[in-house]
Amino acid sequence: MINRQLAPEFRAIDNISLIRPQHLPLDNGVNIFCFNSGDQELVRIEWIFSNLTFDPAKPLLNMAVNSMLTDGTKTLTAAQIADKIDFYGAFLQVDYGYENSQVTLYSLNKHLHHTLPVIADILNNSIFPEKELETFKRNQQQKLQVSLQKNDVVARRAFNRAVYGSTIFGYAAEMGDYQTLQQDDMLAHYKKMYQPANCTIVIAGKIESETLTLLTDTFDKSWPNTSEIGVTIQPDIKAAADLFYFTEKPEALQSAIRIGTPIINRSHADFQPLQVLNTVLGGYFGSRLMANIREDKGYTYGIGSGLASFKQVGSFFIATEVGADVCKLAVAEIEKEINMLKTELVPEEELSLVRNYMLGSLLGSLENVFSHADKFKSIYFAGLDYDYYDRYTTTVKNITSDKLIQLANTYFNFDQFYKVIVGKY
């Protein structure tokens, strides 16, 4: 008979090996990073550009220019771009982020000679047609109306505005902002941003020599810089003075809560230790916030905490949606959990679980070659190198409860946290 009460032996995770890219700088200033691995005959290629400085008078430019890259070039209409990409079974995405915006292509290798020219056209010849722009504005405004009915969205907007001030990080679009979008501004913005010298290409998948030749032929000699790059530095951030924001929704069944503070970013030596502290508090299913507020009290379907890290700023936040009648109680429990981290040592048994969980989670996040490329992007665009991951694993393995309590006292002051409630309080 087996003893079912006894857990099987297990091994701690020792080595986590990351695939590092081959770096290929091109004459026009593009840096290509290649991750060659995998059995499937396909690749993911990303063209990544730094955003231009945020202009509060024209706040949507970075986002709108990126979103409308697929809406027409000098020779292709939006419909023709979509037809070409879809016909070859490829996927074309544009993604706007606070710091960078990008174009992503997922394509089978055998169709790259058809799909890559479409990307080249988008990056060289986009025209942001008036008619498409009107459609874009109208549809975005309709979507915004729906989003603004969601308590968690309203809470996130208010929180970011408070923590990041009137910067690209704190900005949340209002209905009227869409009226500031003009085709001329977009064309000018596009020209100053989507240039080779402001572009990083990351390719991951099964990369054959023909693939690379095709890529460099399309994005080196035939892609010259045609304009000076605009300024890509974002101004300093000033967080708001007010700490408490309550939006009342009298009929709400649940209230959205978002609580947090500006904090150090990835480049600081305390960042990795803070990631451990964050995991203990709210970073996994068994975390203290989940164990208390969901699994013990049943106030919510889910609660978590996280760290956001950008080049010039970072933030720590707790987010949840709780029964409207228990909102105050939930906030009190959150406060209790924060304060417990400052007054009581994390027991060794809990800490060892978190260590193993975090290492397993890092290992598990490396699902395929795309994930290895993602790990690279996180450090590369933060100006860090692969030592970052060595320090991460070393920290996770060796951090002590003393260090955690010290961190909690340095960085967590509940009275000074921003608190946003949307619903009832």
Partner 1 sequence: MVKFNRFTLDNGLRVIVHEDNTTPMAVLNILYDVGARDEDPEQTGFAHLFEHLMFGGSVNIPVYDEPLQRVGGENNAFTSNDITNYYITLPSANLETAFWLESDRMLSLAFSEKSLEVQRNVVIEEFKQRYLNQPYGDVWLKLRPLVYKTHPYRWATIGKTIKHIEDAKIEDVKAFFKKHYNPQNAIMVVGGNVTTEQVKELSEKWFGAIPAGEKYLRDLPQEPEQTEARRETVTAKVPLNDVYIAFQMGARTDADYYAVELLSDVLSRGNSSRLYKSLIKEKQIFSEVHAYITGSLDKGMFVLEGKPLDGISIEQGEAALWEELEKIKAEEIPADELTKVQNKTESTMIFSEMSLLDKAMNLASFELLGDADLINHETAKYLAVSAAQVKEQANKLFRQDNSSTLIYLAEK
Binding to partner 1, residues 53-92 (CB under 8 A): 70, 78-79, 81-83, 85-91
CB of 87 or CB of 386, closer to partner 1: 87
CA dist 42 and 34 (Å) reads 13
Query: Which member of 73, 101, 151, 292 binds partner 1 (CB under 8 A)?
Result: 151
CA distances from 383 to 27, 68, 189, 241, 376 (A): 22, 29, 25, 31, 11
Which residues 6+ apart lie within 8 Å of 301 measured at CB? 294, 321
Contact flags string 106-125 toward partner 1, x per CB under 8 A: x-x-----------------
> Looking up tokens 């047609």, which residue turns up?
129
CA atoms within 13 A on the CB side of 257: 29
Site string for partner 1, 7-36 (x = CB under 8 A): xxxxxxx-----------------------
Nearer to partner 1, 9 or 184 (CB): 9
Which helix (H) or strand (E) segment holds residue 143: the answer is helix 130-147
Q: Considering beta carbons, is residue 229 or 359 the nearer one to partner 1?
A: 359
Least distance from C-beta 313 to partner 1, angstroms?
Answer: 29
> Footprint of partner 1 on residues 337-366 (CB under 8 A)?
352-354, 356-357, 359-361, 363-364, 366
How far is the C-alpha of 88 from the C-alpha of 92, rounded, in Å?
11
In whole angstroms, give the CA distance from residue 42 to residue 57: 42
By CB under 8 A, the count of residues binding partner 1 is 74
End-to-end alpha-carbon separation of the chain, Å? Answer: 55
Binding status of residue 328 toward partner 1 by CB under 8 A: no
CB of 78 to partner 1, least distance (A): 7
Which of positions 179-208 make contact with partner 1 (CB under 8 A)? none
Q: According to the binding rule CB under 8 A, does residue 284 interact with partner 1? A: yes
Number of neighbours of residue 178 by Cβ within 10 angstroms: 18
CA nearest 46: which of 199, 241, 271? Answer: 199
Q: Do 108 and 86 contact (CB within 8 A), yes or no? A: no
Closest C-alpha to 34, from 23, 18, 46: 23
Which listed range, 116-124, 279-287, 310-318, 410-418, lies at the site for partner 1 (CB under 8 A)? 279-287
* Closest approach of partner 1 to the CB of residue 5, in Å: 5
Nearest distance, CB of residue 334 and partner 1, angstroms: 16
Nearest partner of 26 among 18, 34, 17, 16, judged by Cα? 34
Nearer to partner 1, 145 or 179 (CB): 145
Give all strands of the β-sheet with 254-263 in edge-to-edge order. 244-248, 418-423, 254-263, 314-323, 300-309
Q: Which of residues 285-314 bind partner 1 (CB under 8 A)?
A: 285-286, 294-301
User: 11 or 23: whose CB is closer to partner 1?
Assistant: 11
- By beta-carbon proximity to partner 1, the closer residue of 261 and 395 is 395
In the list 27, 210, 248, 367, the residue contacting partner 1 (rule: CB under 8 A) is 367
143 binds partner 1 (CB under 8 A): yes
Q: How many CB atoms lie within 10 A of CB 228?
A: 10
**What is the smallest separation between the CB atom of 235 and partner 1, expressed in angstroms?**
33
How far apart CA 264 and CA 350 sit, in angstroms, is 25
Nearest distance, CB of residue 83 and partner 1, angstroms: 5
Task: Determine the Cα angle at 217 with ends 213 and 221, to 5°.
Answer: 145
CB nearer partner 1, residue 261 or residue 292: 292
108 vs 187 by CB, closer to partner 1:
108
Q: Residue 413 interacts with partner 1 (CB under 8 A)?
A: no
Q: Which of 159, 223, 370, 412 binds partner 1 (CB under 8 A)?
A: 370
81 vs 274, beta carbon nearer partner 1: 81
**CB 272 to partner 1: min, Å:** 17
Name which of 24 and 78 has its Cβ closer to partner 1.
78
Distance CA 141, CA 272 (A): 39
